[in-house]
Amino acid sequence: MTAEPLDDPADAARPDAFTRSMILATLTTVTALYAMTVTIANVSLPQMQGALSATTDQIALVVTFNIIATAVATPMTGWLAARFSRRTILIWGVTGFTVSSLACGMAPSLELLVVARIFQGAFGAPLVPLSQAIVMDNYPKHQQGSAIAVFGMGVVLGPVLAPTVGGYLSELYNWRWVFFMIVPCGLVALTGVLIYIQDRSKAGSNYLDWTGFLTLSVFIAAFQFMLDRGERLDWFDSSTILLCAAVAGLAFYLFIAHSLTADRPFLNPKLLLDRNYTVGLLLVFVFGMLNFTPMTLLPALLQGVRGYPDSIIGLVLGARGLGTLAGFVFMFWGNKLDPRPMLALGFGLQGLAGWYMSQFSINLTTWDVLWTSCLQGLGVGLIWVPLTVVSFNTLPRQATAEATAIFHLVRNFGSSVYISIAIAIALNGAQVNYAEMTAATSPTNQALQFQDSLFRVWSLDSTGALAGLSGEIARQAIMIGYLNSFLVFAITSFAILPLLLVIRLRR
């Protein structure tokens, strides 16, 4: 493991232990508030889909556009903090986030719900990176591992409480209550910020590179829209998808070219000269890809294929949070260990969970989903602390705010990209397998006629019987599509393991 760092001159300017503890508790609450919305919408996606008359890929926009807004607004955290102070941004962020959550619950249509989710993501974007930056600045390096482990509890409490409570509220009332329940939590978090966060400093530059910001935003929005609508519009056979791909490619080129030539770019490419930080960005991109994908796929699978109620789906998603909690509790003491084995174990457990999910039977039980979700959550809990320590341990303190914003930008972008890819894999697999199975159930198929005359499993004598057979084929086909997504999830997790060998630790 790394040696203890030398004394930091900033240590003397840090608050006392009690004040640090209250700041940590407040920021953990703020993080839990944001983490709630990541899972709270997922548990009621099937109910939203029915209430708003949306297709599977349309209702997924409720999740992906929220993540897109977060990804676009996250890099502005450093500039906003420098211009208005950290305390001001936290106050307005929590307030706007709470109001946007109320608007989500009151939305009368899918379009307005997506707009409200965009505002929710934009206001919530600065909360996590700014909170993490404040925690890291208030603790010396040798205590940051333990502080981040406690701070990570906020990431855990949200995913545990939100789907469990939200599932019951959704079943007792309707899907709108999963957003209404955020409002009192937001008021509690706002009170904590007003009392304990007193950082009014405006350290850093308030200059904003608008060219870099706009080109990056256009790239993220166009690329994400292409992924979201690609399967529905038949990918590159559609002029819309071709236009989005061209706009995304051009915007990305302009962003890279501008960042390498500008005197004060929006995102400082010199941060990539730090080897551990660069590796950390690659790892957190994959971490983001893996983190929320099962939580998006499982509710639709459980309700569409197995007919589970929202309350049971909430308990299943809550089991993932319990696994994450166990991982963070262990890392509170295990953060002194070599981070590379912890990262390998975390990604390995996620890959193992994905592999077992890809072996689900269509008659899967609640226990099957509970223990695999818990295993995946345990992997998440074991990854976050060592990944954060590895990424930021060798960076100078003055680069923390910008580096943290980029870190969470990459994580959010990975999440939004992979959710779209996973849904596209599931839908494409369903279409292909439905076509193959319907061809095998033609009336000219002698095997089908044989079972009809002897076993009478499926009758072909009436339109209703044929409709029932078609529905079962559709159920089997979509199940295969979900299994394909879980298999790709497992392969992605295992494929990142060799990159851990590149991490360099100071002896």
The letter for the amino acid at 312 is I
For the stretch 223-239, pLDDT in tens is 877 877 777 777 778 88
> Are 136 and 247 in the same domain?
no
> Are 202 and 243 in the same domain?
no
Contact criterion met (CB below 8 Å) for 407 and 280: yes
What is the residue whose two structure tokens read 């990209």? 417
Domain boundary among 217, 233, 265: 265
Query: What is the average pLDDT across 114-119?
Result: 89
| In a domain? residue 467 | no
For the stretch 170-222, pLDDT in tens is 777 888 888 888 888 888 888 888 887 776 665 555 567 788 888 888 888 88
| In a domain? residue 439 | no
> Are 351 and 332 in the same domain?
yes
> Are 359 and 277 in the same domain?
yes
| In a domain? residue 498 | yes
Under 8 Å CB-to-CB from 170, ≥6 apart: which residues?
43, 44, 47, 177, 178, 310, 311, 314
pLDDT score, position 99? 92
pLDDT band at 3 (very low <50, low <70, confident <90, very high): very low
**CA-based nearest residue to 104, from 83, 84, 86, 119:** 119
Helix 110-124 to helix 17-40 angle, to the nearest 10 degrees?
160
For the stretch 349-369, pLDDT in tens is 999 999 998 888 888 888 888
* Token output for 297: 């796929």
pLDDT score, position 355? 93
Helix (H, G, I), strand (E, B) or coil at 460: coil
Q: State the total domains in the chain.
A: 2
Domain of residue 237, residue span = 209-265
For the stretch 11-68, pLDDT in tens is 545 666 677 777 887 888 888 777 777 667 766 777 787 778 777 667 777 877 887 7
Helix (H, G, I), strand (E, B) or coil at 208: coil
Contact criterion met (CB below 8 Å) for 129 and 404: yes
| In a domain? residue 466 | no
| DSSP secondary structure of 262-299 | -SS-SS-GGGGGSHHHHHHHHHHHHHHHHHSHHHHHHH
pLDDT score, position 6? 43
Q: For residue 393, what is the domain's CATH number?
A: 1.20.1250.20
pLDDT score, position 7? 46
Domain boundary among 220, 239, 265: 265
| In a domain? residue 91 | yes
For the stretch 238-254, pLDDT in tens is 888 899 899 999 999 99
* Token output for 439: 């061809």
> Are 23 and 148 in the same domain?
yes
Query: What is the average pLDDT across 298-314?
Result: 77
pLDDT score, position 189? 83
Distance CA 397, CA 7 (A): 13
Helix (H, G, I), strand (E, B) or coil at 210: helix
Distance CA 412, CA 220 (A): 11
> Are 183 and 244 in the same domain?
no
Q: What is the percentage of the chain residues whose pLDDT exceeds 90?
A: 6
> Are 308 and 408 in the same domain?
yes
| In a domain? residue 438 | no
> Are 66 and 78 in the same domain?
yes
> Are 321 and 260 in the same domain?
no
> Are 300 and 401 in the same domain?
yes
Lowest mean pLDDT across 202-211, 284-293, 450-459? 450-459
Query: What is the average pLDDT across 486-507?
Result: 84
pLDDT score, position 200? 65
**CA-based nearest residue to 266, from 97, 78, 392, 2:** 78
Helix (H, G, I), strand (E, B) or coil at 393: coil
Length of the chain equals 507
> Are 228 and 304 in the same domain?
no
> Are 203 and 132 in the same domain?
yes
Domain boundary among 265, 298, 333: 265
What is the residue whose two structure tokens read 């705010």? 401
For the stretch 377-435, pLDDT in tens is 888 888 888 888 888 777 776 676 677 778 877 887 888 788 778 888 888 888 888 88
Query: How do the residues of the chain divide into helix, strand and coil, expressed in percent and rounded to 5?
Result: 80, 0, 20
Most confident of 67-81, 88-102, 326-340, 439-453: 88-102
For the stretch 70-111, pLDDT in tens is 777 877 777 787 778 778 888 898 899 999 989 988 888 888
Q: Which helix (H) or strand (E) segment is 32 a member of?
A: helix 17-40
| In a domain? residue 455 | no
Distance CA 493, CA 487 (A): 10
| In a domain? residue 336 | yes
